[in-house]
Structure 1
Amino acid sequence: MVPFRRIAVRADSEISMLIKSLARRMVTLPQEHDSFASALFEESLLKMFVILVLRACIHAEQHRAQGSRKHLMMDELFVYIRTHITEEITLEQLEQVFYISRFHIAREFKRQTGQTLHSYIVKTKLDLCCHYIEQGRPITEVYRLGGFGGYNHFFRAFKQEYGMTPKQYFRSVQKDAHA
């Protein structure tokens, strides 16, 4: 027994209609076997049938690939953000890098992750800053290493995310280290 798998291909209505019509015509061919050039006609119908089925498969594969491209783009986006986290990352910049509209990037990111791209970037930068604070680096150095443009922006984002100032976080890390 030869193993095989079945795949259902949903063709658009025009291709589907043509395939059904050709299939019906091919079923009635044995009745016309003695007609002039019946073998040539039968071969032509079979070729047209195969071509239409292949077109339907290619169309289905392209449609499936477009859906997976979105996930691929998101994976590439996460990698890009991680490698450039210490830099300023803008939607305009991402649009230039990925050749995809900034509006599409923002919409897809929100749809697939449930958060805005900006909040993800800020949280990722804050995670990096927490790592630096846990290493004992000075707060004035941490915000620069984390890619924040200024201390005020870093301070507000940190307090909003963690409910404490960076210095309070530093003290709590030191307490935990001594305990």
Structure 2
Amino acid sequence: MPKILNAKTVHDYNAYVGHADQHPLVSVIDYAALPPIRHSRTRFSVYALFLRDDCLEDLTYGCSKYDYREGTLICVSPGQIGGVEDNGEVFRIEGWALLFSPELLHGTPLAARMKEFTFFAYQVNEALHMTAEERATLIALMKQIQEELCRHPDVHQRTILVAYIELILNFCLRFYERQFATRKSSNHDVLARFETLLHDYYKEGRHLSGGLPGVGWCAEQLCMSANYFGDLVKRETGQTAGEHIRRMVIDLAKEQLMDGQPVSTVAYDLGFDYPQHMTRLFKKEVGCTPNEYRMQV
């Protein structure tokens, strides 16, 4: 089995790349100041943002491999595995990194906000490709954190470090919004394939064994992470991917109800486990029960 580096702490990753510790819970790394290192696949127990200025082939994320271009920001959350298998060669990383432990956020407002930063669960091929201005903004903020880490610790330092990190994450949200906006044509293609996927799911009878189509399944079929796919659909349509699926299922239910089929038959035919599940969803989405709907139209 290939060896995996366990970065349980900020120190573990610092030691791997040869960077001196400045704080037990935070690290800012300018790779230009470090010696070459060997490749490694790494399991992270900390948050990490890697601003890579080099081109690297065969970068792995989970069980998949990707190529990425220079000027890329890759975001990693605890529990994820990434990197390149050790082939015995050494290489020089170009770019910057920010790592911080979840412990740093305990008891802070940012801890409750972390679920908003869905890009931490994006795949590497969904990483942020930054403009020169965006890149400069992030590096400037990392340098500010670096300067703070060089100061003598006091009662305010943790608050200041968390504030800088939150600011960086907010900028990442803005930059991803820009990236979604500049990829509208490809996004529309994804939405069209999403619609086709849903219709084919029922046309081919997959619901008879698989039940209702889920967001995760749809994302996998479209070769995307669930988070990226969900964010794309939300930004393009104003609806979540789950809402989009439910709307289509309710439209199919309406068609079958008007054909005179019993509610239980319609429910099982659409992949619901129980008729009452469809009735609850139908009332939530339409405002009335299936039987009431049939009487109104």
Q: TM-score, normalised by structure 1?
A: 0.55
Query: Any conservation in 1 of the 2:263–2:275 contact (CA below 8 Å)?
Result: no
Say what the alpha-carbon RMSD is for the aligned residues. Answer: 2.3
CA distance in 2, matches of 1:66, 1:161: 31
Residue 132 (structure 1) aligns with = 256
Query: Any conservation in 2 of the 1:109–1:115 contact (CA below 8 Å)?
Result: yes
Residue 80 (structure 1) aligns with = 197
Count of aligned residue pairs for this structure pair? 112
Q: 2:187 aligns with which of 47, 52, 70?
A: 70
Unaligned residue ranges in structure 2 (runs of 5+): 1-130, 133-181
Matches within 5 A, 1:145-156: 145-156=269-280
Residue 220 (structure 2) aligns with = 96
Q: Secondary structure at the match of 1:84?
A: helix
> Which one-letter code corresponds to 1:81 in the other structure?
L
Higher helix share: 1
1:113 equivalent to 2:230? Answer: no
CA distance in 2, matches of 1:77, 1:124: 11
CA distance in 2, matches of 1:124, 1:166: 15
Percent identical residues: 24
CA drift of 1:140 comes to 1.0
CA drift of 1:124 comes to 0.9
Q: TM-score, normalised by structure 2?
A: 0.35
Residue 45 (structure 1) aligns with = none
CA distance in 1, matches of 2:241, 2:220: 16
Higher strand share: 2
Query: Any conservation in 2 of the 1:158–1:166 contact (CA below 8 Å)?
Result: yes
Unaligned residue ranges in structure 1 (runs of 5+): 1-11, 14-64, 174-179
Runs of 4+ in 1 over 3 A off after TM superposition: none
CA drift of 1:95 comes to 3.0
Indicate how the Cα distance of structure 1 residues 156 and 72 shifts in structure 2: closer, same or farther if over 3 A, else same.
same
